Each structure stands twice: as C-alpha cells, then as structure tokens.
Amino acid sequence: MKVLVTGGAGFIGSHLVELLSRQGDEVRVLDDLSTGSSASIVRESGAELVVGDVADPAAVSVAVAGCDAVCHLAAVASVAASIERPLETLRTNVTGSVTVFAAAASAGVARVVYASSAAVYGAAQELPLRETLRPQPLSPYAADKLAGEHYLGHFHRSGVLGGHAFRFFNVYGPRQDPRSPYSGVISIFLDRAVAGEPLVVNGDGEQTRDFVYVGDVVELLARALHGEAQGEAEEMPVTNLGRGESVSVRELAEAVGLAASGDSPRVEYGPARAGDVRHSRADVTLLDERFGGIPPTGLEAGLRATVAATGVRGAV
C-alpha cells in the first residue's frame, strides 16, 4: 500500500513513517520542515520526502498522487501559538486540512486518517471524556481541530473516501523536542530532569492528563490506515486515543524524576497557562471495541523507553 504522511518529519509522523516502512508499505512524506526535525530519519527509512506546505494545493496534489491512504498529522500543535497568531495557525490547521482532504478525494484515495485532539472537549465536566459529549473548544487550536473533523466527515459522508478521526490525548515519547514551543510537558520535564534542573509546573500541579506512548499511537494509526477498525459505518468514526488513565502533573513530575535519575526531582510552580483545561481523561470504550484493545504501554514503561532512547547515562 502507498501511504502519504503529512507532517511525517515531525515527532509522531517520523515514528509512523518508520513503522509503515518496516511493514512493507511505500511511504511518501509531505512536510515543510518548519518544525519537523527528523528528515534524516524519513530518508533512512526509505520514504520519499516532498518538502511543501499542506495549505498549498499544488504541493498537496503532487504529494497525494498515486497514494492509497493518507495520514494527516501536519499541524501547528500549540494552544499558545493559536491564541497569539490565530490566522496563521488557522491556515495550517484548517485550510491545510481541507486542502489535503479535497486533494485526497480528487486523487481517489480510499482512506484518510486525521489527527484531531482531546482539546476539542474543552472544560467538559463529565469524566471520562466520551466521543458523544458536546465539544466545547476553549482555544483557536481546539476549534481548528474540531473544524477538521467536520470537514473530513463531509468527505466521508459524500462517499468519496473513508475517514477516521482520532482525538489524541497527551502523546509522548522519543524525539519530542523539549526546546520546541509545541513540545509536551513530558519532554520538557525529562530535559530538565536529566540536566539536574528543577521541573517547572504551570499552576498548582493538580491538573490531570491522559498520557499515551507514541509507539502505541502509531500502531493504531497504521491499523486504521489499513482498514482494520471494526464497525465503521456511514457516519465517520471519531475515536479517542488515550489510555483512559488520569495522571496529575505533580505525579508526572515525580515519575519523570525517578525515570531520569532515580531520585525525586526539585519542583517549582509558575502561573497556569491560558487556554489549558483542568482535567482530561479518555473514555476508551470505542477504541477497545474498534481495535480490540487499548494502548498497552503504561507511564512508567513509556518513560523508561523515552529516557533510554536519549542515550542518557544511568537511564533506567
């Protein structure tokens, strides 16, 4: 099968490209390399790299030609950036998504898998977060991701392609750049813990998140690209992608310190971030039904694997 991965030189994308290539798929990557730092990994995997912008119809048309499936990961994945520069992030996150979906439909692509976000739920009061809850996006980024779901749903209902949207919870793992403005809390914590610096918690540390290891995420994306999801129907499936576990940021800081050095870390507290939700945990019932299980890698094992991948001396 020939697969296009947009954003394939980025954190999640590079892991997906490697997995698909190992499985024998022919892989093409579309990435503007503005934040992706894994172009060498893409080339080493044997994938074709097309440097271009997902909001450029000409570049997308070239990239999607001849493909059987598309995984659309390219995005400005930052709440803060979307608040500061909403028009700029909308161009990539919404215009770019519609450009990719329309080009895929015109090229006869059979299946499109889209990376949405748990941010679409906003400050929902009911936990765990079920896919049937009314979305309440609190930031332009969350609104962008929800819009992408609706646009892909349009193409799915039209019968021109089969769509599947995954609402990513907090994905972490090797290659997540702690110096990037789009990095996750785990990569930042690990970077500081390895350097012996205090971990800075935004807010009181009692906010909770559902952390899911990148290796598990790309396994599920690959299965969806190959049409392995059960129960797909006329309405486009939207599936939470998390572990269904709540971890407070305070607990996370302790776990990161132990994984990085075997000791409890020093923790400092700063102001809460604008646009952040207080609590988040996935309902993984549909994920289990559609894929026959939930992501198996627990936080402790995932942190160990992430630390080991950095080559840090003394990693456990």
Rounded Cα distance between 8 and 140, Å, is 23
Rounded Cα distance between 155 and 108, Å, is 12
What CATH number should be reported for the domain whose range is 172-210+244-309? Answer: 3.90.25.10
Rounded Cα distance between 192 and 78, Å, is 20
Nearest CA-CA partner of 55 in 78, 14, 88, 82: 88
Helix (H) or strand (E) holding 241: strand 238-241
Domain boundaries, the chain: 2-171+213-241, 172-210+244-309
Looking at the chain, the number of H-run helices and the number of E-run strands are 12, 13
Pick the catalytic residue from 141, 151, 172, 213. 141
pLDDT, tens digit only, all 316 positions of the chain: 999 999 999 999 999 999 999 999 999 999 999 876 678 888 899 999 999 999 999 999 999 999 999 999 999 988 889 999 999 999 999 999 999 999 999 999 999 999 999 999 998 778 999 999 999 999 999 999 999 999 999 999 999 999 999 999 999 999 987 766 556 789 889 989 888 899 999 889 999 999 999 999 999 999 999 999 876 567 899 999 999 999 999 999 999 999 988 888 889 999 887 656 788 999 999 999 999 999 999 999 999 999 998 754 333 3
Write the class of the CATH domain 2-171+213-241: alpha beta
Residue 314: per-residue pLDDT: 36
Residue 313: per-residue pLDDT: 38
Alpha helix segments (H runs only) across the chain = 11-22, 39-44, 57-64, 79-84, 86-90, 96-106, 140-157, 185-194, 214-225, 249-261, 285-291, 299-309
Q: What is the pTM for the complete model shown? A: 0.93
Confirm whether 213 is a catalytic residue: no
